[in-house]
Amino acid sequence: MARIELDLAHAYGRNPKQDSDYALLPLRMTFEDGGAYALLGPSGCGKTTMLNIMSGLLAPSQGSVYFDGVEVTRASPQARNIAQVFQFPVIYDTMTVAENLAFPLRNRQVPKAQVDRRVAEIAEILEMSGQLNQRAANLAADEKQKISLGRGLVRPDVTAVLFDEPLTVIDPHLKWQLRRKIKQIHHDLKLTMIYVTHDQVEALTFADQVVVMTRGRAVQVGTAAELFERPGHTFVGHFIGSPGMNFLTGVAARNSFLIDPVDLPMPPSRTLPPGELKLGVRPEYVSLVAPGTPGALPMSVTQVQDVGTHVMLCASFAGQSVKARMPSDAAHFSKGDNVWLQVMTEHTCFYQNEEIVA
């Protein structure tokens, strides 16, 4: 188990001049010992680069990595004693399950009795005790991934387990099982685990803290609730939630927000910096209200999607659109109807230059 600290940046070329030259913009981050973290973001955001820098497969072009306060920036993965699970199962085809699990320990010249005991323990945790003598090559993808994971766990002093989109080749109906198993192992063994994914469901269900990344930048670190309630960046608002947050542009004065031509009054407890801002509100918090209610906008319905458990209503106003998640009785609306939707709520956030300001 280890506490990992990062204070680094990574660029491809020699002399990075602008942001686009960086794979990872300068960042400082700490991953606490025993924590479960997810690195979440779309393709190319730098999450795999960060993972590889942590595991030692890549050295950052500038800055350092610390494990429990010790600098390990140029140390190999072996030296850092980490475990890594890759996108596709990596196992030794010619060995049995037991031999696969025993491999890291055998390479360290651990005595046979101890090896056998440890292998049995880990197989128990992975629920693979009955398959120890089967050839690893003949197993299904999810079992092979468990073996990959097991090889990491079998070392008692493993510092952290790093996952690089491990469910990519797993059958959809087996994904949740494997996810549950990983979470259980984290709960039981209290290892530091860092999980890279582009799937927000995976990230939000697995991790205590999620690092949301885009284009080389870590834009927010927080719990699932924090990311949902108070996205620190419009990207987080977009990316988290299905569908993501609604954004409306307008001009703020001290006590009101003007979305031409409607002026929305602000409650006394909230003040806004003046200037052009974006109002962000999640579809889950947009509600249907009586015409003229303060904080609501008169909108025209553009689309009604009945999803069964709820209805997704799309409406537009002055060229901007809003999605609202409504209970099923809203299905009676149709295109062109006039509705008033409350967008100013206690859950509404305001953004200036994409960053949250209120």
Binding site for another protein (CB under 8 A): 43, 48, 55, 57, 76-78, 82-84, 86-88, 90, 92-96, 98-99, 103-104, 107-108, 133, 135, 138, 141, 148, 151-152, 165, 168-169, 198
DSSP string, 77-130: HHHHT-EEE-SS----TTSBHHHHHHHHHHHTT--HHHHHHHHHHHHHHTT-GG
For another protein, give the closer residue by CB, 103 or 317: 103
Residue 25 main-chain phi, psi, to 5 deg: -70, 155
For another protein, give the closer residue by CB, 89 or 231: 89
**C-alpha to C-alpha distance for 3 and 90, rounded to whole angstroms:** 26
Q: What is the dihedral of CA 130, 131, 132, 136, to 10 degrees?
A: -170
Question: Which residue, 129, 191, 107, is CA-closest to 156?
Answer: 191
Task: Give me the half-sphere count of Cα atoms (radius 13 Å) on the Cβ side of residue 276.
Answer: 4
For another protein, give the closer residue by CB, 76 or 328: 76
Those residues whose C-beta lies under 8 Å from the C-beta of residue 176, and which sit 6 or more positions away, are none
DSSP at 194: E
With contact defined as beta carbons under 8 Å apart, do 37 and 51 qualify?
Answer: no
Query: Smallest distance, Å, CB 288 to another protein?
Result: 37
Query: Smallest distance, Å, CB 54 to another protein?
Result: 13
Query: Smallest distance, Å, CB 10 to another protein?
Result: 15
For another protein, give the closer residue by CB, 82 or 252: 82
Query: Smallest distance, Å, CB 132 to another protein?
Result: 10
For another protein, give the closer residue by CB, 48 or 214: 48
Query: Smallest distance, Å, CB 48 to another protein?
Result: 6
